[in-house]
């Protein structure tokens, strides 16, 4: 067992000696002196590290995550726009690590870490100590201090966020159908903040969603009154382009594809304030809306600020070339939680491929540590970048030299790459079936409004009071992180 006996760990007062003794006791029970690796976070980075280590019987792994699943963030916008179901983008961690007796998965939220003793403490009061610590707790939205954004906007970072947003969008369509006067109160104004890959993909898929609802409306009485033809999607960015990390021709293509889907681009515009029923832009425009989707930026989860060490850009922990933390023995930092430097000396972006490769490199270095050999430096293999703009439209820049693809070929490449990243054969098949329905039949998953609290909107009040579940969710996320 890795765990300090819970009766002792949950006592209100446990002496430091008792804790230490309990930890030591638990370590003493390990058969064959396998080294214990404690991994915080079962995302792309932590999971790939665990998988690689699991193949080595001389290592024992405890993987801690506040969820019992890995969420596949690149596809969250497809849940929000009812292309994929939640279980197409979230995978049970125990199932993913099935068949490895040396891996112990615990659903627990880590609240503090003593980096010198390697003791990790959870919100539930348990403690774990590893010979090695791997910190891979990922990111959370960064609202950059924008007034009201944390309370009233809908971020798109977790499965919970995506499900909430889908319900909100459907709640707005249903409300406007029931009472068309709500259009004047912004029921069908949807504002997406941030035209990076997340905001662009969300805007394009949302445009497709509204266009396919419009087709249904013209065909079928059941959809007759849905005001989709009067819906507006505004994509707002402080910069002058969409997809700023892509080439100018990819940016121009993406902007054109978005506009074809009815997305209105507001470039060179900042969001100054988000309210219960409005948003204010930097040029002073006030738009009535009850759905502001936040794709404006990320920072490390705030666990990083509780570690007692200096954090770097975005609240992330600076990693050394071998992914260890400077001055700390046996502590590794990975993925979105880390600032990892690329071979050009610049920080690597927060991407699934960086997280995945850093997880594998970390596992290799832990095994080298155990063997008493020098560690390797992390070398990122850059396969390129891509973004989906909508059905049959994508941009891809392949490899280090950024070979450009637009349109149907890039769309096919996008499907292949994202299916490959999915963790199981079943997940790949299910996602492909849904994509085929969407592509050939223009038919989406069932647009089920399963969180009816999203319908409880105080349309008369654009001030402080707001029944939005988003505010509750964001407050909860802030407290938790």
- Per DSSP (E only), the strands in 164-218 are 189-193
Rounded to the nearest 10°, the torsion over CA 275, 230, 207, 452 is 60
Among 19, 49, 53, 74, binds ligand FAD (CB under 6 A): 74
Q: Give the Cβ contact number of residue 327 at 10 Å.
A: 10
- Read off the tokens for 160: 């919970």
Among 165, 303, 366, 427, binds ligand FAD (CB under 6 A): 303
Encode 252-271: b = buried (16+ Cβ within 10 Å), e = exposed.
bbbbebbeebbbebbeebbb
Name residues contacting ligand FAD, limited to 147-206 (CB under 6 A).
156-157, 197-198
Among 23, 37, 46, 129, binds ligand FAD (CB under 6 A): 46
**Are 339 and 315 a contacting pair, CB within 8 Å?**
no
Among 121, 131, 336, 397, binds ligand FAD (CB under 6 A): 336
Tell me the per-residue interface mask from 217 to 256 with ligand FAD, x by CB under 6 A, - otherwise: ----------------------------------------
**Nearer to ligand FAD by C-beta: 42 or 186?**
42
Residue in the structure block whose two tokens are 């590794």: 332
**Are 229 and 212 a contacting pair, CB within 8 Å?**
no
| Crossing angle between the packed helical segments 469-480 and 159-178, to the nearest 10 degrees | 170
392 forms part of the interface with ligand FAD (CB under 6 A): no
Tell me the per-residue interface mask from 83 to 122 with ligand FAD, x by CB under 6 A, - otherwise: --------------------------xx------------
Pairing of strands 317-318, 338-339: parallel
Taking the complex as a whole, the smallest distance from the CB of residue 64 to ligand FAD amounts, in Å, to 5
76 forms part of the interface with ligand FAD (CB under 6 A): yes
Among 39, 64, 182, 389, binds ligand FAD (CB under 6 A): 64
Taking the complex as a whole, the smallest distance from the CB of residue 409 to ligand FAD amounts, in Å, to 17
Q: Count the residues of the shown chain that bind ligand FAD, applying the rule CB under 6 A.
A: 35
Taking the complex as a whole, the smallest distance from the CB of residue 372 to ligand FAD amounts, in Å, to 28
Taking the complex as a whole, the smallest distance from the CB of residue 373 to ligand FAD amounts, in Å, to 26
- Residue 297 DSSP one-character state: -
Pairing of strands 139-141, 132-135: unpaired
Taking the complex as a whole, the smallest distance from the CB of residue 397 to ligand FAD amounts, in Å, to 13
- Read off the tokens for 264: 């209105």
Q: What are phi and psi of 395, to 5 degrees?
A: -125, 140
Taking the complex as a whole, the smallest distance from the CB of residue 277 to ligand FAD amounts, in Å, to 25
Among 19, 59, 65, 234, binds ligand FAD (CB under 6 A): 65
Bridge partner list, 394 = 388
Give the separation between CA 75 and CA 222, rounded to whole angstroms.
Answer: 29
Pairing of strands 132-135, 331-333: parallel
Q: Which residue is nearest to ligand FAD (CB)?
A: 43
Tell me the per-residue interface mask from 119 to 148 with ligand FAD, x by CB under 6 A, - otherwise: -----------------xxxx---------
| Crossing angle between the packed helical segments 425-441 and 408-421, to the nearest 10 degrees | 150
Among 196, 335, 347, 445, binds ligand FAD (CB under 6 A): 335
Name residues contacting ligand FAD, limited to 5-44 (CB under 6 A).
40-44
Q: What are phi and psi of 120, to 5 degrees?
A: -110, 135
**Nearer to ligand FAD by C-beta: 66 or 118?**
66
- Read off the tokens for 300: 């490390």
* 352: nearest Cα among 83, 75, 91, 135: 75
Which residues lie near ligand FAD (CB under 6 A)?
Answer: 40-46, 64-67, 70, 73-74, 76, 109-110, 136-139, 156-157, 197-198, 301, 303, 335-337, 350-353, 355
């Amino acid at each position: 067992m890795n765990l300090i006996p819970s009766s002792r760990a949950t006592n209100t007062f446990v002496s430091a000696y008792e804790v230490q003794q309990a930890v030591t006791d638990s370590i003493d029970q390990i058969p064959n002196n396998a080294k214990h690796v404690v991994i915080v976070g079962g995302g792309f980075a932590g999971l790939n590290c665990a998988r690689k280590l699991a193949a080595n019987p001389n290592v024992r792994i405890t993987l801690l995550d506040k969820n019992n699943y890995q969420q596949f963030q690149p596809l969250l916008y497809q849940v929000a726009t009812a292309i994929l179901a939640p279980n197409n983008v979230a995978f049970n961690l125990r199932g993913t690590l099935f068949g490895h007796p040396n891996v112990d998965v615990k659903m627990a939220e880590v609240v503090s870490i003593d980096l010198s003793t390697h003791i990790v403490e959870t919100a539930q009061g348990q403690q774990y100590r590893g010979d090695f610590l791997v910190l891979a707790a990922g990111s959370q939205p960064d609202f950059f201090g924008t007034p009201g954004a944390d309370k009233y906007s809908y971020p798109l970072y977790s499965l919970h966020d995506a499900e909430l947003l889908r319900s909100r969008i459907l709640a707005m369509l249903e409300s406007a159908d029931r009472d068309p006067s709500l259009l004047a109160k912004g029921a069908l104004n949807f504002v997406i903040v941030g035209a990076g890959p997340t905001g662009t993909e969300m805007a394009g898929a949302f445009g497709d969603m509204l266009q396919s609802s419009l087709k249904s409306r013209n065909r079928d009485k059941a959809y007759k009154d849905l005001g989709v033809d009067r819906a507006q999607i505004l994509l707002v960015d402080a910069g002058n382009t969409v997809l700023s990390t892509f080439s100018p021709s990819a940016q121009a293509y993406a902007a054109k594809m978005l506009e074809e889907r009815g997305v209105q681009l507001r470039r060179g515009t900042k969001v100054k304030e988000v309210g219960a029923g409005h948003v204010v832009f930097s040029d002073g425009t006030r738009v009535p809306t009850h759905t502001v989707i936040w794709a404006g930026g990320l920072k490390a989860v705030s666990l990083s600020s509780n570690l007692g060490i200096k954090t770097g850009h975005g609240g992330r922990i600076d990693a050394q070339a071998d992914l260890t933390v400077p001055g700390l023995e046996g502590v590794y930092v990975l993925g979105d939680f880390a600032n990892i430097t690329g071979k050009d000396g610049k920080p690597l972006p927060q991407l699934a491929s960086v997280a995945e490769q850093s997880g594998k490199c970390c596992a290799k270095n832990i095994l080298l540590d155990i063997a008493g050999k020098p560690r390797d430096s992390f070398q990122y293999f850059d396969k390129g970048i891509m973004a989906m703009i909508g059905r049959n439209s994508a941009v891809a820049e392949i490899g280090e030299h950024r070979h450009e693809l637009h349109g149907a070929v890039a769309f096919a490449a996008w499907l292949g790459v994202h299916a490959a990243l999915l963790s199981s054969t079943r997940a790949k098949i299910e996602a492909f079936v849904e994509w085929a329905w969407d592509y050939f039949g223009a038919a989406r998953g069932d647009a089920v409004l399963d969180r009816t609290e999203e319908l409880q909107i105080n349309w008369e009040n654009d001030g402080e009071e707001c029944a939005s579940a988003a505010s509750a969710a964001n407050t909860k996320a802030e407290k938790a992180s």
